[in-house]
Amino acid sequence: MDPQPSGLSRQAERPDGSLARGLVGRHVELDAFAASLQPDSPVRIHLVHGVGGIGKTTLLEAMERIATASGRVVVALDARDLICSTTAVADAIAAAAPTASPWVLLIDGYELLEPLDRWFRRTLLPGLPPATVTVLAGRNTPDPAWWLAPDQRNRVVVHALAELPARESADLLRDRGVAAEHRDAIARLGHGHPLVLVMLAEAARSGPVPTDLAASPATVGRLCRAILDDLPDADHRTGLATCAHANRMTEDLLRLTVGDRTDEVWHWLSTRPYVRRGTVGLYLHDVVRGLFEAEFAHRSPQSYAAVHRAVRGYFEQRLRDPQEPYPDRAAAEILLLHRRGPLAGVTARLREGGPLPVVRADADGVRRAIELTGRHEGPEASAIARRWIDHRPGCVWQVLTDGDTAFGVHVYLDEDTDVDDPVVDAVRAAVAAEGPLRPGERIHVNRFGSGSAGITDGLVLFVNGVSSILEWISEPAAWTFIVTAAPDFYGDYYAYLGMRHLFTLDAPGARVGGWGWDRRRLPVPKLLEMLSIREISGESGPPPARLLRPAPLDRTAFDAAVRSALSLLTRPDRLASSPLLETNLMPPAPPSAQGLREVLVASIAQLETEPHGPDHRRIL
């Protein structure tokens, strides 16, 4: 390769078309560089790092202009032009270095030269003229050895290039010719990533304005090649897909998808510049997550669906494990898997915020929940919430955050429930119209949802979604209802969940809508099965008929079916047609004649402990 310095002009040759047209932002980095050019500055080394396309090359170009304007000679090298050897690097610098000093050394693509990192620290840079300022820009986080040595602490500055803030993103789009009315939407889609913003701007100029990364597969493919150019093999791609799909990926989850290579893939992921380490597990830079997910779903939809099933199955298993110490985390992961629902934008923003605990509210949280209900729905609604809380202590769930918070209230109606709330009559009437409750059955109602920032704030969706999943898994009920004072906002989302709009009511303080789900016909496992498909398909409306059980038997029909089944205990071929197979009498496993026989025999055995039980057992 030609060892001569590139002067960073190779940027114009890049296939992604990301030629710099002027720098937006990065004032802190440029000011620090300019200050280090002063003779009295102790700083002589700048270490710039960030994911691909975040603007490292453009920043180096701006630094080159500043250095030239200050009278410095600049030696600018691109690591892609160099053989990774000490001789090649030393020769390239020697060929371009000026005889006069001071001068500036800029090296782009430093991640390609990292095998020489120790030599750079201990031999090359200490051997340069004392006033030389060096900037090394690469994707990976620098080795701490650069600044841990006592004589280097004041000489080295590290610059981690972050995403551009919203205003600077809009400025970049303006400079790229994007109309003012489209800048905010594209800026949100680009997550402040300069290369993504530039390419979305180009896509907007040549066609429809992008509204979803998945809608621009050609652009997404080019971006993935520019940012994710270091995937060793299929297992590493699967590991990256797992990390992208889960909100937070742990080693246990990774082992489910890559098996014996877990340690190797985990280490590789943890060293990628676009992968971040959270308090729990690993997660991807937001824009990289969106790009990789869109590219993966477009390139290999079957493999994408397989990863989705694996990730979802892992968290469902954790959710059902009675020994799981953090069931709310598993529920949150399931909630945040919604990629195509009506409120997908809200869940995407919740993913960006990281995992938040959802817990039963303490006394202060209960007080706050009542206060917020009154603020958003009026004092009458606040009084109703207080009555429910008195009736069922522990019914308030809270999301724990450092700032805004939100609450959900879950209650249960049985035949003896007597709480002064007009929603109770509306719920009972809706259920009666579909088929009355049977003895011992009850109705679950997600009655209130409120938050510091309003009823439609994402935290309200989060706390109600997570707490609902926890209630569904742990508390039996014949029906579930969700009642909201923002029916226009949430209605499509509840339809996507397979629920039906069953009433609208002028409740005290607010007009509310109620959506219901007959859990006797669609048990919780079947609902979760349906949602696992809708999360990536975006389908909405009533559940498919194949998932529904027949309408519940009334007491007379149920008693007749039990009598018939008891007479057929020794005829499993005829038990296979019993209507009891489609009732909640059966365990969650696929119903079978043998399973029904086992349930009946076990029920008969339980009579032994009741008054006259032995006699009844012998008769049966």
Other C-beta atoms lying within 10 Å of the C-beta of residue 516: 22
From CA 378, how far away is CA 364, in angstroms rounded?
A: 20
Whole-angstrom distance, CA of residue 332 vs CA of residue 49 = 32
Q: Could you count the other beta carbons within 10 Å of the beta carbon of residue 214?
A: 16
Distance CA 212, CA 33 (A): 37
53 neighbors 196 (Cβ within 8 angstroms): yes
Q: In what order do the strands lie in the sheet with 103-108?
A: 73-78, 103-108, 133-138, 45-49, 156-160
Supply 449's token pair: 């949802």
CA distances from 282 to 49, 141, 225, 240, 293 (A): 19, 16, 22, 10, 16
Contact at 8 Å (CB) between 92 and 3?
yes
**b (16+ CB within 10 A) / e for 578-604:** bebbbbbbbeeeebebebbbebbeeeb
Q: What is d(CA 313, CA 308) in angstroms, rounded to the nearest whole number?
A: 8
Q: What is the Cα–Cα distance from 236 to 239, expressed in whole angstroms? A: 5
| CA dist 474 → 323, 469, 480, 589 (Å) | 13, 9, 13, 17
pLDDT reported for residue 22: 55
Nearest 10 degrees: Cα torsion 464, 469, 474, 475:
60
Cβ burial, residue 428 (10 Å; 0-12/13-18/19+): middle
For residues 294 and 199, the answer to whether their CB atoms sit within 8 Å is no
Residue 207 has a pLDDT of 67
Listed in sequence order, the DSSP H helices in 70-131 are: 86-96, 117-119
3-state helix, strand, coil in the chain (%, to 5): 55, 15, 35
State the DSSP H helix or E strand holding residue 292, giving kind and residue range, or none if neither: helix 286-299
Q: What type of residue is 165?
A: P
pLDDT of residue 21: 42
pLDDT of amino acid 215: 66
Tell me the two tokens of residue 595.
């399973």
Nearest-angstrom CA–CA distance, 428 and 422: 10
CB 292 within 8 A of CB 224: yes
Give, as one character, the DSSP assignment of residue 551. P
Segments in the chain below pLDDT 70: 1-22, 206-207, 214-216, 584, 588-589, 613, 620
**Separation of alpha carbons 153 and 150, rounded Å:** 6
* pLDDT for residue 589: 67
Enter the tokens of residue 434.
Answer: 């579909």
The total number of residues written for the chain in this structure: 620
- Tokens 């605990």 correspond to 357
CA atoms within 13 A on the CB side of 537: 13
Cα 407 to Cα 543: distance, rounded to the nearest angstrom: 28
Q: Please say whether the beta carbons of 353 and 462 come within 8 A.
A: no
Angle between helices 166-175 and 180-190 (to 10 degrees): 120
Cα(535)–Cα(407) distance, integer angstroms: 24
Strands 275-277 and 282-284, how do they pair?
antiparallel
pTM: 0.74
Give the three-state DSSP class for 202: helix
**Pairing between strand 45-49 and 133-138?**
parallel
Residue closest to 80 by CA, chosen among 146, 13, 26, 34: 13
Element (H, E) at 407: strand 406-413
Residue 78 host element (H or E): strand 73-78
Q: How far apart are the first and last CA of the chain?
A: 90
Q: Report how far apart, in Å, the C-alpha atoms of 598 and of each of 308, 525, 557, 568, 616 are.
A: 35, 21, 21, 12, 18
Give strand ranges (E) for 485-545: 500-507, 510-518
| Residue 563 tokens, joined | 């009598």
Instruction: Tell me if residue 18 falls in helix, strand or coil.
Output: coil
Task: Report how far residue 616's alpha carbon sits from residue 612's, in angstroms, rounded to the nearest whole number.
Answer: 6
Q: Which of 587, 374, 328 is nearest to 466 (CA)?
A: 328
Tokens standing for residue 388: 């429910």
Element at 344 (helix H, strand E):
helix 344-353
Q: Please, are residues 226 and 139 in contact by the beta-carbon 8 Å criterion?
A: no
